[in-house]
């Protein structure tokens, strides 16, 4: 009798597969691949300081292409330094994306100074923090940008530069507030 019940249980367990029954849906919402970057989404405005001098700027993070990319558009203006007639105006765009089969996003950056930089994206253990670092396979200086959401909901940004063979040093720092 026990043997007959075991055979019946095995047959019933496989019946769903035989008749094409789909497996039971997983509980909970589907995983969002953008979850660790969602804190950046929105329009930000702020002031910064660093090698170019005191400045002002803004950044917008918005999804594009049916949420297949996260687009960062950025601008910064720095007034002329003593003895200079014009200041510095900087614009750039960065696309965060996922390559097929990869769990971590990557990014590619373009600016009005003709830089094109491939970035690896990492998430330090601190929540609401992301770091982009230029792909070490690229020639020339290395670049790193960090974003950290502070307790007061401001976004701290630090852009680092490392000349070939040297360590990273902060180049521009800023604090952004949601607009």
For residue range 85-125, what is the model confidence (pLDDT) as tens digits? 998 899 999 999 999 989 899 999 999 999 999 999 999 99
> Does 77 reside within a domain?
yes
**Residue 65 pLDDT greater than 90, yes or no:** yes
> Does 56 reside within a domain?
yes
| Cα→Cα distances 168→26, 59, 63, Å | 44, 23, 30
Average pLDDT, integer, range 156-166: 94
> Does 20 reside within a domain?
no
Supply 92's token pair: 């750039």
> Does 17 reside within a domain?
no
Range(s) of the domain holding residue 126: 32-178
pLDDT band for position 8 (cuts 50, 70, 90): very low
Inter-residue contact 130 to 40 (CB < 8 Å): yes
At residue 143, φ and ψ (nearest 5 deg) are: -130, 150
pLDDT in tens, 125-146: 999 999 999 988 888 999 999 9
**Residue 22 pLDDT greater than 70, yes or no:** no
pLDDT in tens, 66-84: 999 999 999 988 888 889 8
First to last CA, the chain: 73
> Does 150 reside within a domain?
yes
> Does 6 reside within a domain?
no
Instruction: Please report, for the domain that includes residue 99, its CATH number.
Output: 2.40.128.20
CA distance 53 to 47: 11
The tally of domains found in the chain comes to 1
Q: Is 102 helix (H, G, I), strand (E, B) or coil?
A: coil
Q: Strands 169-178, 116-122: parallel, antiparallel or unpaired by DSSP?
A: unpaired
pLDDT band for position 31 (cuts 50, 70, 90): confident
Neighbours of 102 (CB within 10 A): 10
- The percent of residues in the chain predicted with pLDDT above 90, rounded, is 63
> Does 13 reside within a domain?
no
Give the pTM.
0.78
């Amino acid at each position: 009798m026990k043997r007959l019940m075991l055979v019946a249980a095995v047959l019933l367990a496989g019946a769903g597969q035989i008749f094409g029954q789909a497996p039971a849906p997983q509980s909970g919402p589907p995983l969002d691949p953008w979850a660790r970057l969602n804190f950046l989404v929105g329009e930000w405005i702020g002031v910064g300081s660093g090698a170019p001098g005191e400045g002002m700027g803004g950044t917008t993070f918005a999804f594009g292409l049916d949420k297949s990319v996260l687009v960062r558009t950025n601008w910064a203006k720095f007034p002329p330094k003593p003895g200079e007639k014009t200041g510095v105006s900087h614009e750039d765009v960065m696309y965060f994306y996922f390559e097929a089969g990869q769990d971590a996003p990557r990014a590619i950056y373009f600016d009005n100074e003709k830089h094109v930089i491939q970035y690896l994206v990492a998430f330090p253990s601190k929540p609401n923090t992301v770091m982009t670092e230029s792909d070490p396979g690229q020639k020339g200086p290395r670049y790193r940008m960090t974003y950290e959401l502070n307790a007061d909901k401001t976004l701290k940004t630090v852009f680092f530069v490392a000349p070939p063979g040297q360590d990273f040093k902060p180049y521009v720092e800023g604090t952004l507030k949601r607009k």
